[in-house]
Structure 1
Amino acid sequence: MSSLAMDAPILTVHDLNKQFGDGCIRCAGGADRRLEKNYCPACGTVYSCQNLSFELYPGEVLGVVGESGSGKSTLMRALYFDQQVTSGEAYLSCYKDGLSNLFAQSSQQQRYIRNHLMGMVYQNPLAGLRMGFSSIGNIAEKMIAAGNRNVAAMETRGSDLLERVHIPLYRRKEAPKNFSGGMQQRVQIAKAMSNNPPILLLDEVTTGLDLSVQANVLDLIKHLQRELGISMLLVSHDLGVIRMMADRTLVMLDGKVVEQGLTDQILEDPQHAYTQQLVHSLL
């Protein structure tokens, strides 16, 4: 792990909860609550995230691994304010001295955080790109949202980022709808980085891509992370991706973190039965 990771955390999350549904007497709390996995059969409430707490350090890649439905993507959408949390706290050291709960900020302040302090790369490029805009137009859109009005500066920055993610410059005016899945993900990465955010959120960014394309996208992310020292929260259901990319790892099951630690440690000596099952399926 980077020596930077000995610093104070850049992101701290305490007891993040997200439920879909109102809950009932059977599931709404107490030691005797009865859920099937993270679902209440009595009222239909789904507890997608349950008391999630973790820290992300400067220059660190923190992996989040778990099966489909474990709450990984809900966590990412909550951190990027795509969804409101039910309860919980999150603090950024680079926002108001790390003293203000991000989830309690006004929508205007949350937009500021999204546009300046975080970048998001979605599993489905349709969620992160305007497919009818040009590629450089997508980058400019994020820069305009952050208050940039200098067309020449946006053109220069957009071209630089597209080059960095290996999109040929002669295609910068082309719309992502004409691109392959791997190229669309690379445009998303460029867009997410447009305002130099200290944190990147990466949600299953290689799902659905061919293996060789997956490897290219992961190599690119790793290279950018090392070069720029960005902190990354990387969600995947694929332990191979986590092994290649992450310094530390959280293992999620049914909306809870069941194990966390150094990635090597978790892969070599998994403690929780579910993590053991994941690791054995990788071998």
Structure 2
Amino acid sequence: MHNDAILSVKNLEKQFGPGCSTCHNESTRKLEKNYCPQCGTVYACRNISFNLFPGEILGIVGESGSGKSTLMQCLYFDEAATSGELILNNQEFQEENVLELSSQQKRYIRNYHFGMVYQNPLKGLKMDFSAMGNIAEKLIAAGGRNVAEMESIGKTLLEKVHIPLFRMKEEPKRFSGGMQQRVQIAKALSNNPPILFLDEVTTGLDLSVQASVLDLIKTIQRELGISMIVVSHDLAVIRMLADRTLVMLNGEIIEEGLTDQILEDPQNPYTQQLVYSLL
């Protein structure tokens, strides 16, 4: 593990399907994009390695189907990785591969160390709980028992993400898409996680709403110093948020570097195409 990294991923693989004699062997594997035409196995993440540093926003960009959302699901334990290592730089899990921990320990990590904001708020929120109830749910999962204290944390967070407090008892199903994303962000922040995952959080939002959500993410990162991994197919989002960027294609990282460097001087033909489509 890189000594300064808060999180290290090594050789993470995720495949959907059993694989066959044609695609089992990496050196002779002939895939169409990331799909084996013989047996239908999809190699969604192939040999993914990277570090995340304290207070850094790491961007992961790639087209739909490139494996970036699957990678996030593996990191947040929504999906079980096929193989690889995930190391947290933390006294409790010193040098342990947390991908191999029990489901109970993974739940603990999700409750205390990670926050997640999904592309679809339905995944991250209970639509028939109140906005406040959603935040309380996460706090209770992380051991919160004091109602007054949870309410005070909830109010502070809702104010931070610009949800008017007179609406805190309302259910997110009555909110606009941008407001739902902001409640999700408040919920993800409620346990004060050192690491926040954001998966395509502005997809489907109007441009003005997108801008306010991105602005909010940037402000939170500055104020709280949280490390973030931001996944997007939109380079404009990555340009605004990310310090460093990984470019994914067909389940693999094909380029990585400082975001400015990747945008100004992309090396890989695919990245060049992405960047020129932004100009």
TM value normalised by structure 2: 0.98
Corresponding residue of 2:149: 153
Could you list the runs of 5+ residues in structure 2 that have no partner in the other structure?
Answer: none
Q: Which amino acid aligns with 1:41?
A: P
Q: CA deviation at 1:7?
A: 7.0
Give SS of 2:23's match.
coil
Corresponding residue of 2:203: 207
State how far apart, in whole Å, the 2-side matches of 1:47 and 1:143 are: 36
Q: CA deviation at 1:97?
A: 4.9
Corresponding residue of 1:3: none
Q: Which amino acid aligns with 2:170?
A: E
State how far apart, in whole Å, the 1-side matches of 2:34 and 2:189 are: 34
Q: Among 140, 144, 156, which residue is 2:140 paired with?
A: 144
State how far apart, in whole Å, the 2-side matches of 1:30 and 1:12 are: 23
> In the TM superposition, what whole-angstrom CA distance separates every residue of 1:6-40 from its partner, at most 9, and x where no partner exists?
97000000000000000001111231111000000
Q: Which amino acid aligns with 1:19?
A: Q
State how far apart, in whole Å, the 1-side matches of 2:98 and 2:176 are: 36
Q: CA deviation at 1:174?
A: 0.3
8 Å CA contact retained: 1:165, 1:190: yes
Corresponding residue of 2:185: 189
Q: Among 228, 231, 249, which residue is 1:232 paired with?
A: 228
Corresponding residue of 1:17: 13
8 Å CA contact retained: 1:7, 1:57: no
8 Å CA contact retained: 1:7, 1:58: no
Q: Among 263, 266, 269, which residue is 1:267 paired with?
A: 263
- 1:120 counterpart = 2:116: yes
State how far apart, in whole Å, the 2-side matches of 1:209 and 1:144 are: 30
Q: Among 104, 109, 123, which residue is 2:105 paired with?
A: 109
> In the TM superposition, what whole-angstrom CA distance separates every residue of 1:158-197 from its partner, at most 9, and x where no partner exists?
0110000000001000000000000000000000000100
Equivalences for residues 73-88 of structure 1 within 5 A: 73-88=69-84
8 Å CA contact retained: 1:49, 1:256: yes
TM value normalised by structure 1: 0.97
State how far apart, in whole Å, the 1-side matches of 2:3 and 2:121 are: 34
State how far apart, in whole Å, the 2-side matches of 1:95 and 1:155 are: 30
Q: Among 219, 226, 232, which residue is 1:223 paired with?
A: 219
State how far apart, in whole Å, the 1-side matches of 2:138 and 2:28 are: 47
Q: CA deviation at 1:96?
A: 2.4
> In the TM superposition, what whole-angstrom CA distance separates every residue of 1:89-120 from its partner, at most 9, and x where no partner exists?
00111252531111011000000000000000
RMSD value over aligned CA atoms?
1.0
8 Å CA contact retained: 1:243, 1:264: yes
Give SS of 2:216's match.
helix
- 1:47 counterpart = 2:43: yes
Q: Among 3, 8, 16, which residue is 2:4 paired with?
A: 8
Give SS of 1:226's match.
helix
> In the TM superposition, what whole-angstrom CA distance separates every residue of 1:48-71 from its partner, at most 9, and x where no partner exists?
000000000000000000000000
State how far apart, in whole Å, the 1-side matches of 2:260 and 2:75 are: 26
Corresponding residue of 1:63: 59
State how far apart, in whole Å, the 1-side matches of 2:224 and 2:92 are: 23
Aligned residue pairs: how many? 278
Give SS of 2:54's match.
coil
Q: Among 246, 253, 258, which residue is 1:257 paired with?
A: 253
Could you list the runs of 5+ residues in structure 1 that have no partner in the other structure?
Answer: 1-5
Moved more, 254-263 or 24-33: 24-33
Q: Percent identity?
A: 71
State how far apart, in whole Å, the 2-side matches of 1:49 and 1:209 are: 27
Q: Among 266, 276, 279, which residue is 1:280 paired with?
A: 276
